[in-house]
Structure formats: C-alpha cells, structure tokens
Structure 1
Amino acid sequence: MLALNAIGVGLFCWLIFALAVYALPFFVAFNIGMAAFEGGASLLGALLVGIVSGALTLVLGQVAFAASRRLALRIVIATAYAVPAAVAGYQVAFALSHIGVPLPAWREIFACLGAVCVGGTAWTRLTVFAEPGPFDLAGW
C-alpha cells in the first residue's frame, strides 16, 4: 500500500512538471471561457472559445519567444509563462507537504523549492523551442 502511495505521489509530481508550461494558457483559456459563458455563450461554445484561446496563447507565446532577438523581450515572455507555473508549483508543493511535514517552516521551504523547480521547468520548456541566435563566424 505504501508503494502505491509513493507511485501515486510520484506520478502526480511528474504530471505537475509536465504541465508546468501550460499554466498561463490554462489560466487564459479558463478566464476567457468563463467570460464567454457568462456573456451568453452555450456551454459548448464557451468550451470551444476557451480551448482556442488557450492554444492560441501557447502558440503565440512560443512563436514570439522564438522570433524575438532581443534578450529583454525573451526574458519578459519567459517570465510571463514561468510565474504562473511557479505559483502553481508553490501551491501543489505546499499542499503535498501537509501530508508528511509537521513543521510549518519546513512546509514553506518545500513549497518555495517546488515553486523554483516548477517555474524553472516552465522556463526551460519554453526556451527549448527557440533556436540560438546566429553566431559571428568572422573569427573562424
């Protein structure tokens, strides 16, 4: 039974890391879908609008990051994707730390480590899509 619990928690943590880069698109999709539903769209229409807006957010963010050559713009785009993922990582790590960590200070430490790890994962996954800038081959 203990082994199944460990496998379940491990699978859940893997899922959080795998979905880290999608925190911002999910947030956008959820809010636009809810706005469409409250604005009078049907359930299916709001779901469709939400899915399209989330996919568009992900694709446009990746294309903008890959196409931009300015480092400051790339940092802003990557931060926009990494911060919601870090907040989600903090919340998940804090919730999971309640299972086996009795001291509140250690819960906060684990939650902060979870935020850094999940935010870093989202940052890394977004930057994988970008090609490195052109190198100056004049010295070769």
Structure 2
Amino acid sequence: MILGILGISAAIGLFCWLVFTLAVYALPFFAGITIGAWAYGAGAGWPGAILVGLVSAAVTLGLGQFLFAFLRPVWVRLVIGAAFAAPAAIAGYHAVHGIAQHAMPSEAWQVVFSVIGAIAVGVTAWLRIAGAGPAQPVQGFARG
C-alpha cells in the first residue's frame, strides 16, 4: 500500500512538472495543430500536414519569443505574453480539473483547485516567455 501511494505521488509530481515545463508551448502547439489540420483539409496529405504543422508551431514559438525579447513597448509585450499565457492557463485548468475529478467528490472544490492550477500554469508560462529574452547589461559595472 505504501508503494502504491509513493508511486501515485511520483506520477502526480511528474505530471505536474511536465505541465509546468510545457506550458509555454500551448500556443505554438495549438497553432501547429490548427494549421496542420487546415493543410490536411486542403489536400496536403499526412506528411505535408505534419510538416506544415511543425513548421508553423516552430515559427509561432520563435516569432513570439523574438518579438517579446526585442520589442520595448510594454503594451506589446503584455499582449504577446498574454497570447502565450492564456492557452497555457486553459490547458492548466483542464489538467488540474482532470486530476481533481479523481481526487475529490465536491465539484465546487474541483473548480477551486482547477482555477488555482490555471493561475499557476498561466503565471509559469508568462515567466518562461518573459525569461526567454536576451540578458540586459548591468549598468555601472565594467566588462572584462
């Protein structure tokens, strides 16, 4: 019984680590799936749809990180960060809700924990996209 509890705890910990690590990729994943499905519907076939989806996901991630790192207006950075954090928060909500449905019978507490999970995953995605920019030089210190 103790091994079962330890195994479940390890599995939940691994799952949570995976959700937090991959949170920033929710928007590129969605873009890749959507554009890949469009390409398949347009007659590209499976290989073409997969290739178009992978390329569009990579471009979405790269362009988002580039724009967030090099554009200085705060409102632009806020919009880009929100574009990455919102799908991550939605994914976090559903991931935590799936776990909460198995852990507790009360639907109210399931929603409470799911909202807390959505906020945590959204903030994590925001911090990861914000941390992807180039390091700013420290003023007042000599290089060398």
TM-score range, shorter chain: over 0.9
Aligned CA-pair RMSD: 1.5
Percent identical among aligned pairs is 45
Q: Distance in 2 between matches of 1:55 and 1:84?
A: 16
Q: Which runs of 5+ in 2 are unaligned?
A: none
Corresponding residue number in structure 2 for 1:29: 32
Corresponding residue number in structure 2 for 1:96: 99
Q: Which runs of 5+ in 1 are unaligned?
A: none
Corresponding residue number in structure 1 for 2:79: 76
Aligned length: 137
SS at match of 2:44: coil
SS at match of 1:19: helix
| Cα offset, 1:117, TM superposition | 0.4
SS at match of 1:26: helix
For structure 1, which segment, 52-61 or 128-137, has the greater mean C-alpha deviation from structure 2 after superposition? 128-137
Corresponding residue number in structure 2 for 1:125: 128
Match among 39, 44, 49 for residue 46 of structure 1? 49
Q: Distance in 2 between matches of 1:34 and 1:126?
A: 26
Corresponding residue number in structure 1 for 2:19: 16
TM-score normalised by length of structure 2: 0.90
| Cα offset, 1:5, TM superposition | 1.3
CA contact (8 A) 1:69 1:133 kept: no
Q: Distance in 2 between matches of 1:38 and 1:92?
A: 29
- 1:5 and 2:4 equivalent? no
